[in-house]
Amino acid sequence: MNYKKIMELAHKNLAIGNFSLASYYYNMAKDSKMYWTFAMEGLFVLELKRGRFDLARQLLEDNNVFFQENMYNYLAGKLENIEMNFETAKAFFHQVYKKKNWVYRGNFELAKIDLELGDLKKAQEKYAKINALCNKKQSRNALFGNIDIAILKHEYEKAKVLLNKINGQDLDTNEKIEYLNLETLIAYFLEELDTINYNEENYFYNLLVSSSDDVLLEHIKHHQTGNYECPFLVSINLEELLNKVREDIKEKNGSIHGHCEKYVLTQDNEVGKYKDGTMTKDVCVITMLNTKEIVTMYPVKKSFAFDDENLMNDEGIRRKRKL
């Protein structure tokens, strides 16, 4: 059996959001000793993309003795970071960031945690290390990180200068989206949205220039009517839920992901249903970085260990981020 081809098919389907086929191929690849670890990493990432943080945690716990040590520490750190346990995540990433072939991954994830905890100088040091030791694409990701730091410090002119360094580089599809989102966000902070060339695909721009929640609600409705892993229940009044979570996040800290911040909030009643029948009361709310401007929301399923460190409500972090 050609396991290399099977893994390629799994990665391809994961990238395009065909989670059922991705799962099928990753489970096939698990039969190969050579590809087992990579297949398990794929299944782990798959559960994160599905918003099944409970299953991602279960996967790690059930297979921890079989994972290669560096891979286990890296994946466990990713999960703890998503579930707001920043100090626990940091401990996992400290196990890998000096290891050969893990310098970029370890330092990049540690820098992200520094941002979340408000330790911006420490994050800059890690981005500098990536710039010195890693390849061009990884260094560019570090530059994106430094732009995030400038935004968190309210240094929007500096953020604009840093972003201009990326302009003209050979960007892949995801980097182009990152660039467009940051360009729009910086223009918003500088009150220069009128300088952004209109592009109907620029979702950030369309949100920010809208005088109502129409654009946002239209986007969120796709998570109720579309073919998603866990759509909103049809009984959910999305406008009411949006207004509720908007109030709920005002005095909370989020985890930072791709120039956005993520909050997971538990509601009083079920809001979504997975394809396997699992119900959930948890809603993931995404905002633009350093704002409470909501980009989207959708049902997820957090694990029993979510926010064990109670950092979502930590006022100290909130104060440091506002400096």
pLDDT one-digit tens code per residue, 120-178: 999 999 999 999 999 999 999 999 999 999 999 999 999 999 999 998 788 988 898 89
Please determine, for residue 323, whether its predicted confidence score (pLDDT) is greater than 70.
no
Q: What percent of the chain has pLDDT over 90?
A: 73
- The C-alpha atoms of residue 38 and residue 13 are separated, in whole angstroms, by 15
Q: How many CB atoms lie within 10 A of CB 141?
A: 18
Check residue 201 and give its pLDDT: 77
Average pLDDT for 103-111: 94
Q: How far apart are CA 215 and CA 218, in angstroms?
A: 5
| Confidence tier at 119 by pLDDT (50, 70, 90) | very high
Residue listed under structure tokens 């409470």: 292
Average pLDDT over residues 228-236: 93
Please measure the distance between the N-terminal and C-terminal CA atoms of the chain and give it in whole angstroms.
Answer: 56
E-assigned strand segments in the chain: 255-257, 260-266, 272-273, 279-280, 282-288, 294-300
- Provide the CA 47 distance to its chain's centre, in angstroms: 13
> Greatest CA span in the chain, whole angstroms?
57
Radius of gyration of the chain (CA): 20
Residue 50 identity (one-letter amino acid): R
Packing angle between helix 69-82 and helix 103-117, nearest 10 degrees?
Answer: 20
Angle between helix 103-117 and 86-93 (nearest 10)? 160
The pLDDT confidence band at residue 256, using thresholds 50, 70 and 90, is: confident
The rounded distance, in Å, linking the Cα atoms of 13 and 153 is 38
Report residue 144 as tokens.
């994106």
Place of tokens 């970071």: 81
Compute, in degrees rounded to 10, the torsion defined by CA atoms 160, 162, 164, 167. Answer: -130
